[in-house]
Chains A and B, each alone.
Chain A
Amino acid sequence: MNDWSRAVSARRGDDLAPPIDSVTGNRGLQIEEALIFEQDSPGHCGVDLPEPAPFRSRLGGLERQGPIGLPGISEPQIVRHFTRLSQKNYAIDTGLYPLGSCTMKHNPRLNEKLARLPGFADIHPLQPVKTVPGALALIDTLAHWLKTLTGLPAIALSPAAGAHGELCGIMAIRAALEARGDRRARVLVPESAHGTNPATAAACGYAVDPIPADETGRVDRAALEAKLGTDVAALMLTNPNTCGLFEREMIDIAAAVHAAGAFFYCDGANFNAIVGRVRPADLGIDCMHLNLHKTFSTPHGGGGPGSGPVALAASLAPYAPLPWIVHGSDGLELIEHKSGPAEHSLGRLKGFHGQMGMFVRALAYMMSHGSDGLRQVAEDAVLNANYLRARLADDLSLPFPGVCMHEVLFDDRFLKDTGVTTLDFAKALIDEGYHPMTMYFPLIVHGAMLIEPTETESKALLDWFISVMKRLAAVARAGDAARFRSAPEFTPRHRLDETAAARKPVLRWRPEPARREAAD
């Protein structure tokens, strides 16, 4: 043994020194990284640009005077800065996100490659349409896949995200009602619905009438039918619902809704459970938004961009927002104004044509799976969630026993009298290397924990996750509440003071007063 190996092997548990603080506050690979504004080297630049030749300005005397206040930093420093920031993030690429209703599945890199092809990334929405036939073809192909998967005859592709798609759907419903001279004032929304549902209905001028859940966690059909009337414009339902359960009576509910002259909106956030196994049109719905960043794998990107296309029944198709891509006599046409077939369109919801970058990614995903693969996606997603349910049923508490769909809902009864809350439990899970599950949603269950593994997790990974959850539940019941309340311990930051952040909002960096004076 040489000196080096002797020195290394001499360290045993007993003589390990107590934890130290580093000089810098850094912890190995975890670097305390300052803001770019605190790394300013005035005059530095991370881009080399040529000096413009002298010319006569034609800005009309409106030149910007004085400094903007942006920091100057070289490229190596910028690359290091953002690389270090990235290392403070959890991501699908690093581990499981058991987030119910978010469908955090693997984001294929082929999608990124294809979205960056110059033929898609480097084309302008206002180029003469004859110069972009391939773009129209891609959009039309995507539309065909989505129409086939939903069973609905039309699709609006411009909404930029799920919430935007909901707005589109409710606006289309209102337009259809107005077209038949029918002014209705109420929209029915289950109490378990995602907050965007009532927010959207209220935004469009409707009074929101909540419907309770029954004891099985599904919408209370009797209560729903009692609320139907000639002043109800629509029912907004999520299926599978936010408890992860399939709304069994959907077809009968649809019949009742239509008999009352109302429309049936389906929130498609949970489409991953049924894609390729069920066509929503067969359940009787009139419109449904899809989340390309959920079911169809486009990356969450830390909060966006998303894409929320809306599939529409024939009764709502005429009102679809602009632009439309239609099959004309000469090939695909782009309709940008309320004319011809689009004369009753509800108008624009967004600039230009929609989230093309996400269309490319989603189509690549769909083609990679195919109709058989997509059906397998739903089956594996549902299988994975039920496996978690079966293996954790005795360690956690299930408000609704029985088969679930792609996500399983637990509540906090198993933590009763432990002094550990759902929040504490979730923070402890972070220390174990997992992102927490969805917490406190849906609101109809106390201390909700909604877990959606998705189909891209292997059985081995699920078994590991199950063992961690079992262990944590046991530790909580054994009474070690303090360990949960101080969690997370091993992350770049401990629990942050959200109260202070909201009481005295600091929403931007500002220079120190002395520096500010110097700048003036």
Chain B
Amino acid sequence: MRYLPLTSSDRAEMLAAIGAPSIDALFADVPEPARLQGPLDLPRAMGEIEVERAISSMAARNVAAGSVPFFIGAGVYRHHIPAAVDHLIQRGEFLTSYTPYQPEIAQGTLQYLFEFQTQVALLTGMEVANASLYDGATACVEAVMMANRITGRRKAVLSGQLHPHYREVCETYARFVGFAVDAQHPIPGGEDLAALVDRDTSCVVVQNPDFFGEVRDYSELAQRCHEAGTLLVIVVTEILSLGAIRAPGEMGADIVAAEGQSLGNALNFGGPHVGLFATRDKFVRQMPGRLVGQTTDAAGRRGWVLTLSTREQHIRREKATSNICTNSGLCSLAFTIHLALLGETGLKRLACLNHAAAVKLAERIEAVPGVRLVNRAFFNEFAVRLPRPASEVVDRLAERGILAGVPASRFYPSRNELADLLLVAATELTTDADIDRLEGGLREMLS
């Protein structure tokens, strides 16, 4: 068996050295009723050819996004990943290395994480960032819990325009960890969150661009929050937007919780992705997750280490800021490499291309009779109202080989007022031919 190097003569020699009569003797502590006599009812070992065949046949049954006109976003975005990214992350020294607890032999990981933390801080306009969390949704709830710790309050106000999965994760944690969440209704349009802030509010959580793609300035909300001793958390689900729109830090955000998948990471059916987390220097000791810090070694040379670990579970145990152990490792490396390749000019141009594609798409489908654009402003995703339930339109267009976006009803099945709402995204990969197909499909279906 190709992954098991021991031969039967090895095993015999080793048992002799141990002084055990058989391998079963080494399992003697297992109580009799729990000992399995033989292999379980699962397929036996398969060679590489067979495994490839079995798994590839499952993959072949799926419609890959790149094979059809594709307009789905809603928190996960299809972008082009430069070839160099995937090659570099597959170097064995990155792919198969462990968490950098022994810094002398992990400077590669530690240095890139330091670069990652800097990139995230710069992108979000904040002062300090951690070395990543699992994803945007868990980053969001960690932000709420951090705001609770900082303010000593236990109620979070959530915008109705926050991604519903992020809201749901906050609601789950609220119930079991013990805090309150005041989630607003998802109405595409303005809401008056400042009016909901009181002395029990630890934070207000908004998303920009929001779930319906709207882009807003939250500076005034930030001010109103701060006057009440409340923190402002800004969530970003399309990190690429920060190449074009004003950063959350510039609007007065206290914590930024974001999804970094758009840079370096494929769709992957929703995971693994990479959560980004940034805040102000004064809150750094309340930040969850791993942190890499700069220092010097015994020879006086610059180097990096994991630091401020006493916040974490393996030391504080019951009193940890979070129970988090793993971060997103390789996904954060992919993010770092992709963003390093893009640089200042590349990121801005890529963001511009995304917005341009969305503007063109909006113009074309706005012109389809019956279609009404909801957004005042948008980056690469927007919402349209259709004269028929959006889920029907999406299903019928899928049958014709067009993945036309996400109906809001997929997230809100019982909200009739959202049944006609469709979320549509465009990126630098959206072609004119794709837009033609979508426009044509919509015209046909809605005439």
Contacts and interface: CB of A to CB of B under 8 A. Distances in A.
Question: 7 closest Cβ contacts across the A-B interface?
Answer: A60-B377, A119-B59, A352-B270, A93-B92, A301-B330, A134-B61, A125-B270
A243 B428 CA distance: 53
A129 to B, nearest CB: 10
A498 B377 contact: no
A494 B316 CA distance: 27
Interface in A254-270: none
Interface in B97-129: 97-100, 102-109, 111-112, 114-115, 117-119, 121-123, 127-129
Interface stretch (A11-19, A107-115, A309-317, A469-477): A107-115
B272 A351 contact: no
A52 B348 CA distance: 11
A14 B133 CA distance: 55
B112 A37 contact: no
Interface in B17-32: 17-20, 23, 25-31
21 contacts: A44-B345, A53-B356, A60-B215, A68-B347, A83-B91, A88-B105, A118-B66, A131-B63, A137-B61, A171-B176, A195-B312, A246-B30, A277-B27, A301-B329, A303-B290, A346-B176, A348-B165, A357-B272, A455-B6, A492-B104, A501-B305
A115 to B, nearest CB: 8
Nearest to A248: B29
Nearest to B373: A58
Contacts of A326: none
Interface in A86-109: 86-94, 97, 99, 102, 104-108
B299 interface: yes
Contacts of A52: 349, 352-353, 356
B406 interface: yes
Max chain A C-beta neighbours (<10 A), residue from B1, B17, B70: B1
B340 A496 contact: no
Interface in B21-75: 23, 25-31, 33-36, 39-48, 50-52, 54-67, 70, 72, 74-75
B166 interface: yes
Interface in B244-302: 244-247, 259, 266-274, 284, 290-299, 301
Given A55-B360, A102-B98, 9 more contacts: A49-B353, A68-B348, A86-B94, A106-B3, A246-B30, A251-B34, A304-B326, A305-B274, A350-B135
Contact of A92 (B43, B54, B97): B97
B134 A62 contact: no
A445 interface: no
Given A63-B244, A391-B17, A492 B107 contact: yes
A350 B172 CA distance: 10
Interface stretch (B82-90, B183-191, B199-207): B82-90
Q: Chain A interface secondary structure, helix, strand, loop or mixed?
A: loop
Contacts of A370: 39, 42-46
A82 B337 contact: yes
A302 B327 CA distance: 9
A507 interface: yes
A135 B58 CA distance: 7
A367 interface: yes
Contact of A78 (B31, B96, B215, B341): B341
Nearest to B103: A496
A278 B34 contact: yes
A461 B4 CA distance: 13
Interface in B312-348: 312-320, 322-333, 337, 339-348
A90 B109 CA distance: 10
Contacts, number: 707
B374 to A, nearest CB: 13
Interface stretch (A1-9, A196-204, A221-229, A409-417): A196-204
A363 B313 contact: no
Interface in A398-449: 403, 405, 426-427, 430, 435-436, 441
Contact of B72 (A57, A127, A293): A127
B58 to A, nearest CB: 4
A356 B122 contact: no
Contact of A386 (B18, B171, B299): B18
Given A282-B33, A369-B3, A508 B114 contact: yes
A148 B293 contact: no
A28 to B, nearest CB: 16
Nearest to A487: B104
A45 interface: yes
Interface stretch (B8-16, B222-230, B437-445): B8-16
Given A135-B269, A278-B34, A305-B329, A68 B215 contact: no
B417 interface: no
A82 B328 contact: no
B243 A64 contact: yes
A110 B134 contact: no
B138 interface: yes
Given A107-B96, A132-B63, A277-B35, A501 B295 contact: yes
A249 to B, nearest CB: 8
A59 B377 contact: yes
Contacts of A520: none
B137 interface: yes
Given A81-B340, A303-B109, A56 B359 contact: yes
Interface residues of A, number: 208
Given A123-B269, A501-B305, A505-B293, A46 B45 contact: no
Contacts of B358: 58
B211 interface: no
B45 A369 contact: yes
B122 A123 contact: no
Nearest to B126: A508
A204 B420 CA distance: 39
B362 interface: yes
B323 A199 contact: yes
Contacts of B132: 304
Max chain B C-beta neighbours (<10 A), residue from A68, A73, A391: A68
B102 to A, nearest CB: 6
A382 B26 contact: yes
Given A85-B112, A89-B94, A348-B172, A124 B76 contact: yes
A155 B58 CA distance: 21
Contact of A507 (B48, B293, B323): B293
Contacts of B42: 145, 148-149, 366, 370-371, 374
Contact of B84 (A79, A94, A110, A384): A79
Given A299-B96, A430-B105, A78 B172 contact: no
B171 A493 contact: no
B66 A336 contact: no
Contacts of B304: 496
Contacts of A282: 33-34
Given A163-B325, A352-B75, A390-B19, A92 B96 contact: yes
